[in-house]
Structure 1
Amino acid sequence: MNKLKVGLISFAHGHANSYFESLRRMPEAEIIGIADEKHSRVEAVTERYGVPYFPDYRDLLATDADAVVICSENVHHARLTIEAARAKKHVLCEKPLGITAPEMEAMIAACRENGVQLMTAFPCRYLPAVADAKAAIDRGDIGEVVAIKGTNRGSNPGGWFTDRTLSGGGAVLDHTVHVMDLMNWMLGSAATEVYAYAGSRFGAGDIDDAGLVHVKFASGVFAVIDTSWSRPRAFPTWGDVTMEIVGTKGVITVDAFAQKNEAYSDVDGKASWSYWGDDMDELMIRDFVLALLSGRPVPVTGEDGLKSAAVALAAYESAKRGQPVSL
């Protein structure tokens, strides 16, 4: 069997653990190494599974890897992606794709110029409820879409996420991009205007942990996203992804993580959710690997990542000015 040789660069973002497990279970993929300047972040994984460890990511890029998965702090996405492209490696990059529009454009250009593909990690497209909603919209089940209300409300992740020098932004950047990508995907229309609020309301300090992002699309659709770290530590899980899609002939309500069991524990002292639905990370990783092996375009592009992150960046500008910002 022809296998895709994959390396992972940085486990700074927690999604790296899930992506590693998904790759490990795929017969079509071979993990050839993990690079991270902090050995402690990956030591347990490399020792348990005998995966080669690279203190310097450039040594991993010098191997015969076909592709790399980048889960570094946000500010390093552009540099790592551009260097990987120059080493002729395909790239799956964690969201947000970058922290400025020029650097994301440079990432896309570098991959194009070096004949490799760039995919943005947007696993929410693979959630069953989301995929079903997209299919219903495409069939015209609710007529023409008029408005969308979305949420991506999570817990404060702490660590480097609250350090602007590493993250590039707080909750608005972290949580706008997922639901914005779903809206872009479902509507097939460009965002033209953004009006937003961003602030600190839940104890994150000097970085935004709350936001409301209003978006106008070229098609005439209006949308709003609650993009916040508003969930307390006692909440059963990290957060949510919901959408209410209003059409001229009906409404679709999406609760992306509704496939769950609720458990109540005196030991834990709180409720917990045990998700039994399809693994969105595994489905996304599989699509990435199989697309590259078959020579097909990756399903979620760098351009997709740029379009979603551009809205988040415009939201910060709007919040600063106190008025709408055109895209």
Structure 2
Amino acid sequence: MTGTPVVKVGVLSFAHVHAGGFARLLAGMDGVEVRAADPDPDPAAPGEVRGAEFAARLGVPYADTYEELFAWGPDKVVVCAENARHRPLVERAAAHGVDVLCEKPLATTPEDGVAMVEACRAAGVRLAVAHPVRFSPAYLAVRDAVRAGTAGEVLAVAAANNGYLPAGRRRWFVEPLLAGGGALIDHTVHVVDLLDDLFEGCPVTSVYAQTNNVLYGARGDVPVETAGLLTLTYANGAVLTLDFSWSQPRHHPAWGGLSMRVVGERAVLEMDAFDQKVFGFDERGRRGVEIPYGVGLDELMMRAFLFGEGDVGVTDGGAGVRALRVVSAAYASAGTGRTVRLP
């Protein structure tokens, strides 16, 4: 008599702020056995909990090295390392014949992203990118309306992706070499990925960006951009304007949010990916309260990656590379003050 097949999933690194949530989620899933490894916590700031101690807090089995974790024989891995360290871990997983879900952004440069895609293609393994907002019911309602022709041809999209400064939990987010930048690379890729899906891979033809560090520049310990505006033109004629920032107050009850207004010829469609909440006020604590409800986007994404569940596919490596090309052009534009044309 045999039991239910178990999918063995490895979590590579606790560097990303989502790593702990992913590990807990996997540990609670039926049919999943999880193990984590985090042998490279050297960029961690004083007070950050990483490695075996963090795994113990999560209640997740731990491997001291990546070699030990791969010797365990995972079927799939989730890469949650610093952005600049994604490539070697993805290539190592590909060499072991293991499917990969990589945290976003896929890498810090398009060249590294292309190399990761090629390594996984050559090994015959799957490369996916962790963009859970594709699974938002609000986004899917907008996508259905656009693809059904309800809104007519899309003329413009106005979007915002704002959050808190992540350096409070993981210092490396503001280290240029490890992160690849600041709020631009951190928050732009989510919205670019949504439009890549909405427009079914329609390419971006021009990029214009402005960035600043008005919010945290006086502190002296945040050497990357913390806010900015981005304008993209697509080959179908649509224009995206994006407000991205780490502007959410530190003690706000919500980490941030992602919203879009899609302007079509016949209708305007609005969505807020994280607005399934009950809002209130805590008199004892004298603070606002936001209690979320509804579906968990991370779980929907993880189940799609692990088991192929649902009607929505996980972002693939090709889309991850396209987002990196937009980010690279945006940094070039912000540095020169000029529009950058893409092939």
TM range (shorter): over 0.9
Partners of 1:245 and 1:164 in 2: CA distance: 33
Are residues 311 and 267 of structure 1, via their aligned partners in 2, closer, same or farther at CA, if it must alter by over 3 Å?
farther
Are residues 208 and 234 of structure 1, via their aligned partners in 2, closer, same or farther at CA, if it must alter by over 3 Å?
same
User: What's the offset of the Cα at 1:78?
Assistant: 0.8
In structure 1, the partner of 2:123 is 114
Q: Which amino acid aligns with 2:18?
A: H
User: What's the offset of the Cα at 1:313?
Assistant: 1.7
Partners of 2:135 and 2:31 in 1: CA distance: 19
**Which of 190, 198, 218 in structure 2 is aligned with 1:186?**
198
Matched position secondary structure for 2:196: helix
Q: Which moved more, 1:77-86 or 1:298-307?
A: 298-307
Partners of 1:43 and 1:26 in 2: CA distance: 21
**Which of 1, 5, 10 in structure 1 is aligned with 2:8?**
5
Residues 156 and 240, structure 2, Cα contact 8 Å, conserved in 1: yes
Is 1:250 aligned to residue 270 of structure 2?
A: no
Q: Which amino acid aligns with 1:225?
A: L
**Which of 135, 138, 142 in structure 1 is aligned with 2:144?**
135
Are residues 167 and 269 of structure 1, via their aligned partners in 2, closer, same or farther at CA, if it must alter by over 3 Å?
farther
Residues 113 and 324, structure 2, Cα contact 8 Å, conserved in 1: no
Residues 73 and 160, structure 1, Cα contact 8 Å, conserved in 2: yes
**Which of 64, 70, 81 in structure 1 is aligned with 2:79?**
70
Q: Which amino acid aligns with 2:337?
A: G
Cα deviations by residue, 1:118-172 (Å, 9 ceiling, x for unpaired): 0000000111101111111111110111100111011111111111121111000
- Aligned pair count reads 323
- TM-score, length basis structure 1: 0.93
Partners of 2:100 and 2:318 in 1: CA distance: 13
In structure 1, the partner of 2:31 is 28
Matches within 5 A, 1:137-216: 137-158=146-167, 159-188=171-200, 189-204=202-217, 205-216=222-233
Cα deviations by residue, 1:191-249 (Å, 9 ceiling, x for unpaired): 11100001111115321001111000011101111111112224331111000000001
Partners of 1:281 and 1:218 in 2: CA distance: 31
Matched position secondary structure for 2:50: helix
Partners of 2:231 and 2:57 in 1: CA distance: 46
Partners of 2:236 and 2:272 in 1: CA distance: 25
In structure 1, the partner of 2:318 is 303
User: What's the offset of the Cα at 1:273?
Assistant: 1.4
Matched position secondary structure for 2:105: coil
Partners of 1:274 and 1:307 in 2: CA distance: 35
Residues 208 and 330, structure 2, Cα contact 8 Å, conserved in 1: yes
Q: Which amino acid aligns with 2:277?
A: K
Are residues 273 and 117 of structure 1, via their aligned partners in 2, closer, same or farther at CA, if it must alter by over 3 Å?
same
User: What's the offset of the Cα at 1:316?
Assistant: 0.6
Residues 154 and 229, structure 1, Cα contact 8 Å, conserved in 2: yes
Are residues 265 and 79 of structure 1, via their aligned partners in 2, closer, same or farther at CA, if it must alter by over 3 Å?
same
Residues 29 and 289, structure 1, Cα contact 8 Å, conserved in 2: no
Cα deviations by residue, 1:53-99 (Å, 9 ceiling, x for unpaired): 12221221232111110111111011111111111111000000000
Matched position secondary structure for 1:5: strand
User: What's the offset of the Cα at 1:286?
Assistant: 0.4
Partners of 1:3 and 1:145 in 2: CA distance: 44
C-alpha RMSD over aligned residues: 2.0
**Identical columns (%):** 38
Q: Which amino acid aligns with 1:304?
A: A
Partners of 1:268 and 1:134 in 2: CA distance: 40
User: What's the offset of the Cα at 1:267?
Assistant: 4.4
Is 1:288 aligned to residue 288 of structure 2?
A: no
User: What's the offset of the Cα at 1:186?
Assistant: 0.5
Partners of 1:77 and 1:227 in 2: CA distance: 23
Matched position secondary structure for 2:246: strand
- TM-score, length basis structure 2: 0.89
Q: Gaps spanning 5+ residues in structure 2: where?
A: 42-47
Matched position secondary structure for 2:125: coil
Partners of 1:253 and 1:50 in 2: CA distance: 40
In structure 2, the partner of 1:99 is 108
User: What's the offset of the Cα at 1:47?
Assistant: 3.1
Residues 118 and 298, structure 1, Cα contact 8 Å, conserved in 2: no
User: What's the offset of the Cα at 1:310?
Assistant: 1.8
